[in-house]
């Protein structure tokens, strides 16, 4: 049935009663075995389990309820009492399920039994674990390892991830794309060039010390709501918070802390952003060049008047390289170019620069609004440039703070899930496990897609995730996927990627993190790394959804045993019996990062991995922090000159975790009832001849011979800059060409897809 949308201005703060109502709704609708009291006791607490939603830091002294609406929703959905077992699959053909929505598929509940696709009946049929492992192992033995891909979505623990990456290398390839290739890979490419570390430099405690926060392209209220606690406390110290985002996201505007009874009763919100700039999509490089230019002007004035310098000249001289080139760029770019490209006025940019100049310690927060663009790397590096101009890396209360996505996406990279060999201590692995690891770079996500399109991939293993739904160019990918010989999906819930089958397809169900993981050596602990490089232990608390489920480490170990010749140095069974032994192996491979790993598991707030840039040690090619000159003013593919081409942002609603759709209430944007919508500036809507509440078709504006189009989108008049529009991921992934990705990082450019609009 077609859904109709409803849009009303949402003037309630983030958090508050709206979040409580939503939490209760999801706990009830999922008949979840976990309760709100259970969550209070165990969620993000030492001795409990770590949230499976976002990767935001967990404080050493947790709040009574150290969870947010969306973390609770994710947990209730994990702990649902609904089941997608063999009888479900007996009733539905895969062709029928192809017509179900993402919501309907996952709302069937937890997968319980290993299943194999049977083409003759077009159904998934139960298979014994041993048979599945043996068959997959035999098939893998017959393939050319470099023609197989082992994908990981960023949820699996450090223990599982280490084992999975080792399995790939023992088998013979580095084809280890993970969800971060679609996400913060841009960060992992940009930051090492600039400051010599692939991760952020900010710790949670820096938020208590900062006196200024700048935030670009991140939706805090939906995607990292616990960060709002730090933002609220910062506001109570009168810290300015300056936001750049095309949309006025409620989370950046007002917050009522559900933890504070008084605030809840009076509905008395804290105002979060003190300055809000609705930059146009892809316009941040220009906006940041403007800020840099204005900082230079302020510094010039201070010098001529003999006042205090705005630039940190001592820091620039001692710690950086390349400032002269950046200065030339800043001075040489005209205000006309800057305002044209950013869509912001000179006065607005100068006001932001003034706030930046007044502060002594500045944190820069950012998300997908910077990384998922053609020039995402320039976006991130330009933000670092601003910090470096004022010496804002490696001092308390300051630094660069990418807000990561999946709860262990950063950690997966740390322990070897990486397609680039330079990121992995292959020599160490060779010595530790007595084998010759493959030395060539493997495929990242886009490269894996290209190889699948070219028919060069024989097998795909997915450690979680919904690969085909998350990548660009969905229609072509679905068609080409059918050319795979083997597709194996390790998953918790049914999703669309499971319905696109290869010649042989397996669905292997696994535990969720909040469930008890009992192995031969007793109940097991797993670990993960948060956005601020802190490592946390996680202990499941609830009984598994089914006795037939296996843990992720066990599944990975069984697959490895079935596919590889035995290696006495890799004791898969012993590792599965006691995950502490995997942690010992991790410590052996990464002694500096994981010193005393097993002893430090319960450090309140997690134990931080060392990050050299925090100590102002720059592990870059120059040994200094590098200013990087952006290659262009626009971050987008289109040049912004054609008024008929809009830049489409594909983003998340408040009722989803990536491709997992919990419902149809994007409460904080006031959009209800449907996800087939497009938010558009009213003048644009009228210009395109679309009536109020009318429908539109979006078509990708590129000439490469492929028509990419989606119709039936209800147009919602929205407060968004002209020339920019926004719609939901993953519905709009059909529109993104596979070749439109960030230069260098290959992160798909999901945040400014050039589209034309036609009325329907």
Ligand X SMILES: Nc1nc2c(c(=O)[nH]1)N[C@H]1C(S)=C(S)[C@@H](COP(=O)(O)OP(=O)(O)OC[C@H]3O[C@@H](n4cnc5c(=O)[nH]c(N)nc54)[C@H](O)[C@@H]3O)O[C@H]1N2
Where on the chain is the footprint of ligand X (CB under 6 A)?
53-54, 70, 106, 153, 155, 179, 182-183, 216-219, 222-223, 244-247, 249, 279, 281-282, 284, 367-369, 372, 405-406, 463-467, 470, 490-493, 495, 510, 512-513, 552, 649-652, 656-660, 729-730, 733, 736, 750-751
C-alpha span between 219 and 277 (Å, rounded):
14
**Least distance from C-beta 748 to Mo ion, angstroms?**
11
Q: From the list ligand X, Mo ion, none, pick the one residue 526 interacts with, judged by a Cβ distance below 5 to 8 Å according to partner type.
A: none
Torsion 556-560-562-568 (CA) sign? negative
Q: From the list ligand X, Mo ion, none, pick the one residue 465 interacts with, judged by a Cβ distance below 5 to 8 Å according to partner type.
A: ligand X
**Between residues 216 and 590, which has the closer beta carbon with respect to ligand X?**
216
**Between residues 12 and 53, which has the closer beta carbon with respect to ligand X?**
53
**Least distance from C-beta 602 to ligand X, angstroms?**
22
**Least distance from C-beta 224 to Mo ion, angstroms?**
11
Site string for Mo ion, 180-219 (x = CB under 5 A): ---x------------------------------------
**Least distance from C-beta 649 to ligand X, angstroms?**
4
Q: Is 73 helix (H, G, I), strand (E, B) or coil?
A: helix
How many CB atoms within 10 Å of residue 743? 17
Q: Is 699 exposed, middle or buried (0-12, 13-18, 19+ CB in 10 A)?
A: middle
Q: For the chain, first and last CA: distance in Å?
A: 19
Q: From the list Mo ion, ligand X, none, pick the one residue 330 interacts with, judged by a Cβ distance below 5 to 8 Å according to partner type.
A: none
317 vs 76, 290, 313, 437, CA distance in Å?
53, 23, 6, 42
**Between residues 113 and 319, which has the closer beta carbon with respect to ligand X?**
113
**Least distance from C-beta 237 to ligand X, angstroms?**
24
**Between residues 55 and 352, which has the closer beta carbon with respect to Mo ion?**
55
**Least distance from C-beta 406 to Mo ion, angstroms?**
6
Evaluate whether 14 touches 256 at the Cβ level (below 8 Å). Answer: yes
Q: What is the DSSP string of 405-460?
A: SBTTHHHHHHTT--S-GGGS-HHHHHHHHTS----S----HHHHHHHHHTT---EE
Q: Which of 390, 441, 393, 544 is nearest to 169 (CA)?
A: 441
Total residues contacting Mo ion by CB under 5 A comes to: 2
Site string for Mo ion, 395-414 (x = CB under 5 A): ----------x---------
**Least distance from C-beta 54 to Mo ion, angstroms?**
9
Q: What is the DSSP string of 595-657?
A: TTTGGGTT-TT-EEPP-GGGGT---STTSSEEP---S-S--SSS-S--TT-EEEEEE--TTEE
Q: From the list ligand X, Mo ion, none, pick the one residue 219 interacts with, judged by a Cβ distance below 5 to 8 Å according to partner type.
A: ligand X
Please enumerate in sequence order all residues whose Cβ is within 8 A of that of 577, keeping only pairs 6 or more positions apart, or say none.
519, 520, 521
Q: Is 347 exposed, middle or buried (0-12, 13-18, 19+ CB in 10 A)?
A: exposed
**Between residues 170 and 444, which has the closer beta carbon with respect to Mo ion?**
444
**Between residues 412 and 752, which has the closer beta carbon with respect to Mo ion?**
412
**Between residues 5 and 551, which has the closer beta carbon with respect to ligand X?**
551
Q: Which stretch binds Mo ion (CB under 5 A): 35-43, 175-183, 509-517, 560-568?
A: 175-183
Element (H, E) at 514: none
C-alpha span between 363 and 218 (Å, rounded):
14
**Between residues 694 and 722, which has the closer beta carbon with respect to ligand X?**
722
Q: From the list Mo ion, ligand X, none, pick the one residue 157 interacts with, judged by a Cβ distance below 5 to 8 Å according to partner type.
A: none
**Least distance from C-beta 596 to ligand X, angstroms?**
27
Q: Which of 573, 569, 598, 599 is nearest to 584 (CA)?
A: 598
> What are the tokens at 393?
């890396």
Site string for Mo ion, 253-272 (x = CB under 5 A): --------------------
528 vs 29, 468, 556, 594, CA distance in Å?
29, 25, 17, 12
**Between residues 102 and 350, which has the closer beta carbon with respect to ligand X?**
102
Cα dihedral 660, 663, 665, 668, rounded to 10, equals -30
431-437-438 Cα angle (round to 5): 160
* Touching Mo ion, residues 40-79 (CB under 5 A): none
**Between residues 218 and 333, which has the closer beta carbon with respect to ligand X?**
218
Torsion 153-157-163-165 (CA) sign? positive
**Least distance from C-beta 94 to ligand X, angstroms?**
16
Evaluate whether 373 touches 752 at the Cβ level (below 8 Å). Answer: yes
Q: From the list ligand X, Mo ion, none, pick the one residue 751 interacts with, judged by a Cβ distance below 5 to 8 Å according to partner type.
A: ligand X
Q: What is the DSSP letter of 548?
A: T
Q: From the list ligand X, Mo ion, none, pick the one residue 411 interacts with, judged by a Cβ distance below 5 to 8 Å according to partner type.
A: none
Q: From the list Mo ion, ligand X, none, pick the one residue 460 interacts with, judged by a Cβ distance below 5 to 8 Å according to partner type.
A: none
Phi/psi of residue 117, nearest 5 degrees: -75, 135
**Least distance from C-beta 492 to Mo ion, angstroms?**
17
* Touching Mo ion, residues 271-290 (CB under 5 A): none
Q: From the list Mo ion, ligand X, none, pick the one residue 378 interacts with, judged by a Cβ distance below 5 to 8 Å according to partner type.
A: none
Contact positions toward Mo ion, by CB under 5 A?
A: 183, 405
């Amino acid at each position: 049935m077609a859904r109709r949308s409803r849009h009303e201005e949402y003037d309630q703060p983030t958090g508050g009663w709206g979040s409580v109502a939503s939490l209760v709704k999801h706990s009830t609708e999922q008949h979840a075995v976990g309760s709100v009291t259970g969550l209070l006791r165990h969620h993000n607490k030492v001795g409990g389990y770590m949230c499976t939603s976002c990767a935001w830091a967990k404080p050493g002294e947790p709040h009574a309820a150290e969870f947010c609406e969306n973390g609770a929703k994710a947990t209730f959905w994990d702990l649902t009492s609904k089941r997608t077992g063999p009888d479900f699959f007996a009733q539905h053909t895969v062709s029928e399920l192809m017509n179900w929505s993402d919501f309907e598929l996952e709302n069937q509940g937890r997968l319980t039994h290993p299943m194999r696709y049977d083409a003759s009946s077009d159904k998934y049929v139960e298979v014994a674990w041993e048979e599945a492992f043996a068959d997959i192992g035999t098939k893998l033995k017959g393939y050319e390892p470099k023609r197989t891909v082992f994908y990981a979505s960023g949820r699996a623990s450090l223990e599982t991830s280490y084992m999975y990456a080792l399995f790939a290398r023992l088998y013979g390839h580095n084809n280890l794309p993970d969800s971060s290739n679609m996400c913060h890979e841009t960060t992992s490419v940009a930051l090492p060039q600039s400051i010599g570390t692939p991760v952020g430099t900010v710790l949670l405690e820096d938020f208590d010390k900062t006196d200024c926060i700048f935030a670009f392209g991140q939706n805090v209220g939906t995607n990292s709501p616990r960060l709002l606690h730090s933002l609220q406390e910062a506001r109570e110290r009168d810290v300015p918070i300056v936001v750049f985002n095309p949309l006025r996201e409620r989370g950046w505007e007002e917050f009522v802390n559900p933890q504070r009874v008084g605030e809840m009763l009076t509905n008395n919100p804290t105002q979060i952003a003190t300055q809000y700039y609705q930059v146009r999509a892809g316009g941040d490089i220009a906006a940041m060049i403007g800020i840099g230019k204005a900082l230079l002007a302020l510094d010039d004035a201070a010098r001529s008047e003999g006042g205090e310098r705005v630039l940190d000249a001592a820091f620039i001289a001692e710690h950086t390289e390349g400032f002269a080139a950046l200065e030339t760029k800043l001075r040489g770019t005209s205000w006309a170019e800057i305002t044209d490209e950013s869509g912001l006025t000179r006065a607005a940019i100068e006001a932001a620069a003034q706030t930046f100049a007044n502060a002594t310690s500045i944190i820069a927060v950012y998300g997908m609004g910077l990384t998922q663009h053609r020039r995402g790397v320039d976006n991130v590096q330009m933000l670092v440039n601003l910090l470096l101009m004022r010496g804002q890396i490696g001092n308390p209360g300051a630094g660069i703070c990418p807000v990561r996505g999946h709860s262990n996406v950063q950690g997966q990279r740390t322990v070897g899930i990486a397609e680039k060999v330079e990121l992995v201590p292959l020599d160490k692995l060779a010595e530790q496990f007595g084998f010759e690891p493959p030395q060539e770079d493997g495929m990242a996500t886009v490269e894996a897609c290209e190889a699948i399109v070219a028919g060069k991939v024989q097998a795909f293993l997915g450690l979680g995730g919904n690969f085909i739904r998350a990548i660009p160019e969905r229609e072509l990918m679905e068609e080409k996927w059918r050319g795979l010989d083997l597709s194996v999906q390790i998953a918790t819930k049914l999703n669309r990627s499971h319905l696109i089958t290869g010649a042989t397809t397996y669905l292997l169900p696994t535990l969720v993190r909040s469930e008890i993981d009992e192995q031969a050596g007793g109940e097991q602990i797993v670990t993960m790394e948060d956005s601020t490089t802190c490592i946390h232990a996680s202990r499941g608390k609830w009984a598994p959804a089914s006795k037939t489920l296996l843990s992720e480490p066990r599944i990975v170990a069984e697959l490895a045993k079935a596919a590889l010749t035995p290696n006495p140095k890799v004791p898969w069974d012993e590792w599965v019996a006691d995950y502490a032994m995997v942690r010992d192996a991790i410590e052996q491979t990464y002694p500096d990062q994981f010193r005393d790993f097993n002893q430090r598991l319960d450090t309140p707030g997690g134990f931080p991995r060392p990050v050299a840039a925090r100590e102002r040690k720059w592990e870059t090619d120059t040994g200094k922090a590098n200013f990087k000159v952006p290659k262009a003013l626009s971050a987008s593919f289109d040049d912004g000159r054609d008024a008929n081409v809009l830049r489409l942002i594909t983003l998340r609603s408040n009722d989803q975790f990536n491709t997992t759709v919990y419902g149809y209430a994007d409460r904080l944007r006031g959009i209800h009832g449907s996800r087939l919508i497009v938010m558009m500036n009213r003048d644009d809507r009228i210009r395109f001849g679309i009536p109020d509440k009318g429908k539109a078709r979006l078509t990708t504006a590129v000439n490469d011979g492929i028509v990419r189009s989606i119709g039936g989108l209800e147009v919602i008049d929205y407060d968004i800059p002209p020339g920019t529009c926004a719609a939901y991921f993953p519905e709009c992934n059909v529109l993104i060409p596979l070749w439109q990705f960030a230069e260098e990082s290959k992160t798909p450019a999901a945040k400014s897809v050039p589209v034309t609009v036609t009325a329907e």
